[in-house]
């Protein structure tokens, strides 16, 4: 599957804009920390106040570049170290 960091971020931002608009989007501070295509997981970083917004936005992503996908959260943490240690 041809999933790139760009296309993934573009889809997430599109979802954020569509459902939450500018007012929420400017609070998020979204970063894609890691994307592992082989193991099919990714790690994103964002402001802790917008956790529910981000999870909702991820849930509404249904397609990336015409390919059906599900972005399902598996773990939330305050530090990158603890989230990476769970690999």
Partner 1 sequence: MIIKFIYFPLSLHNYKESSSSFEVILYLSYFESRLLANFDNFNDILEKLEFCEKLGIKNVILEPKNNIIAIPLELKSKIRLETKINTLYRINLRLNNSEDFKRRIKHFNNFSDILSIESLNKEVQLRAARDSRVDIVSFSNSELIKTLTPGVISLIKQNNSFLEFSLAPLMVKNKVNQSKNLRNLYRFIQLALKSKVNCIISGNFDDMYDFRHPRALISICYSLLGVPLDRAKKIFKINPISLLERVNRRNTNDFEPQVRLIKGGET
| Positions in the binding site for partner 1 (CB under 8 A) | 1, 3, 8, 19-20, 33, 40-48, 50-56, 58-60, 62, 67-80, 83, 86
- For 24, which DSSP code? H
Q: How far is the CB of 10 from partner 1 (least distance, A)?
A: 14
CA distance 15 to 71: 12
Smallest distance from the beta carbon of 72 to partner 1, in angstroms? 5
Cβ at position 13, least distance to partner 1 in Å: 15
CA separation for the pair 26, 72 (Å, rounded)? 23
């Amino acid at each position: 599957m041809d999933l790139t960091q760009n296309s993934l971020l573009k889809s997430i931002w599109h979802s954020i804009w569509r459902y939450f608009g500018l007012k929420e989007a400017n609070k998020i501070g979204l970063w894609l920390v890691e994307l592992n295509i082989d193991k099919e997981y990714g790690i994103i970083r964002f402001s802790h106040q917008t956790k529910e917004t981000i999870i909702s936005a991820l849930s509404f992503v249904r397609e990336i570049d015409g390919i059906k996908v599900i972005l399902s959260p598996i773990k939330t943490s305050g530090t990158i170290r603890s989230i990476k240690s769970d690999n």
